[in-house]
Amino acid sequence: MKKIVLTSTLMALATASVASDDKHFKGKMPTTYEQAQEYLVESKAKLAAILADGNVSRVEMGEIHQLTYSLENALEFMEEEIEQIQETLERVHKGSERGTNAQVFQDAQQFLNNSDVLH
């Protein structure tokens, strides 16, 4: 009887594990750079709080795992935004070498506007 209960329990856990893979945690997905910064700060604070006592329980390990998704999403979004800003600056740089005034002016204005989020 104990073997049946144990086997049933293990099967239930295995099924739950497989089911949880279908609904894997996605983390917070930012839609703006400011939101990505907010999620980064928020998630870092939660991670620091978990680590504060020097011990990490199994439950906390799960919380850390979930936090990493929001952290990764925030950093990835920020990286993509910074790459776009760098590309615009590169257009300004190359345009300034060629002396294409109108294009440099337009790209420089775009750079200034888009890079405001970085401070």
pLDDT at site 42: 97
Least confident of 5-9, 24-28, 32-36: 5-9
DSSP string, 10-33: HHHHHHHHHHHHHT-------SSH
pTM confidence score:
0.74
Q: How much of the chain, in percent, has pLDDT values that exceed 70?
A: 81
Residue 21 has pLDDT above 70, yes or no: no
Q: What pLDDT, on the 0 to 100 scale, is given for residue 77?
A: 97
Q: Compute the average pLDDT of residues 7-21.
A: 44
Average pLDDT for the chain: 86
Closest CA to 73 of 41, 35, 27: 27
